[in-house]
Amino acid sequence: MLSKAVSPLSGIRIADFTRILAGPFATMILSDLGAEVWKIERPGTGDDVRNWIPPQINDQSCYYLCLNRNKKSLAIDLEHSDGQKIAKSLALKSDVLMENFKTGGLDKLGLGYEDLAKENEKLIYCSITGWGSTGPFAKHGGFDVIAEAVGGFMAITGPKNGGPAKAGVAVTDMMTGLYAHGAVLAALLQRNVIGRGQKIDCNLLSTQITGLMNIGSNFLNAGLEGRRWGTEHESIIPYQAFETKERRHYVVGAGNDAAFAKLVKMMNLEHLAENPKFKTNKDRVKNRDELLKIMQDRFHEEELKYWQKTLDYPGLPSGPVNTLAEAYKHPQVKHLGLVQKVKHEKYGEVTVTGEENLWPCIRCFLAPPVEFSEAQNEIRSAPPMLGEHTKEILQRELGYSDAQLDRFKHDRVIDF
């Protein structure tokens, strides 16, 4: 049996040329699994999200902090010829290179896949773009909110009969990061078989189109155009949030007829289960408005705490719409250890969820949500300061002397 002290990707080195969210999210997941990630950043400013403030803590952007744990930061000017040479040398010593420049951006710097693969045939090269590496929009820049709009997500997200809304967090970026991380793992496995790396292309638009899932299937196979339902479900009733007496919200999900019967019995509305208008899910969808008004009127009679206690049944998925403070205080969140302390020499030891004053929790770090029985998947170090590891990595990996690094720093090729 393997020791749980083993990290699955221990020994894998990743040259990370990504910034903002999708790419850094992918490399963070890989770093949690033990890969050594060299985050290549622009001297002086670094990753764009370092400057996305407020909020911030000790001059560190909270946005940056959530995406860059376990990484090593190198400040290298890729517009300088010496910076390009240094970056290429690091890429040639890497197992994986990840980048999210505009299509062809790194090719112009001599850091494209074709150039690097000639010298490092085992390199796995993962590009993340907005629209894909080929096609009429390949040269366009992309952001999560644009992919949500163009990819149909905002047409089905928002208040019922209201205007479009984006998700509360950048879900398309995050999904793309998850696809990219999975693709890299698959390529690493295949490399063990075929003995060489390969090029991987991920993009926000493809991720979002794929992410339409059942709503997309409804259109492609039944010609049913999507629409906004608020928290309601198009094909399952009831499956939504209901307003309570004090204008909070409680969510229930009755995924089948038995669950519906149990729910209405617990709400003292058991007669609804025998009503032919509501007996089956198909009936409930057909008579949606009538049923939901009855249920909403009942929810308005009691406060949130009443519904939390009354509907607390393992076989019936339900729960309140929590604030962030309430979410982080949830007993299951605490049990899973999802918020952890991390110490950094510059910004010290962070606090943990559970204190009465929750504002300091903005300095906390969320742990990896996946547990392994035989391996580590963990936070090992806090997000790095800009250029914190430039000297360490360039000396260890490329053998530069102090004098050489000082000259590069003087010439503004690197910073540390």
What are the E-state strand segments in 77-215?
96-99, 124-129, 199-203
- Give strand pairing partners of 319: 251
3-state SS, residue 168: coil
DSSP sequence for 86-106: HHHHHHHT-SEEEE-SSTTTT
CA pair distance 402, 406, nearest whole angstrom: 6
Q: Which two tokens stand for residue 318?
A: 């339900």
With beta carbons less than 8 A apart as the criterion, state whether 124 and 197 touch. Answer: yes
For residue 107, how far is the Cα from the chain centroid? 27
**Number of helices followed by number of strands (H, E) in the chain:** 16, 16
3-state SS, residue 171: helix
Q: Among 84, 85, 5, 77, which residue's Cα sits nearest to residue 42?
A: 77
Catalytic: which of 16, 95, 173, 415? 173
3-state SS, residue 394: helix
Q: What is the DSSP letter of 367?
A: P
Show the DSSP H helices in 365-410 as ranges: 390-398, 402-410
Q: What number of CA atoms fall less than 13 Å from residue 219's CA on the CB side?
A: 12
Annotated catalytic, 173?
yes
CA pair distance 240, 165, nearest whole angstrom: 17
CA pair distance 278, 272, nearest whole angstrom: 6
With beta carbons less than 8 A apart as the criterion, state whether 130 and 204 touch. Answer: yes
Q: Which two tokens stand for residue 71?
A: 């990484």
Q: Which two tokens stand for residue 107?
A: 């090719």
Q: What is the DSSP letter of 20?
A: T
CA pair distance 156, 154, nearest whole angstrom: 5
Which residue carries 């690197």 as its tokens? 414
Catalytic residues: 173
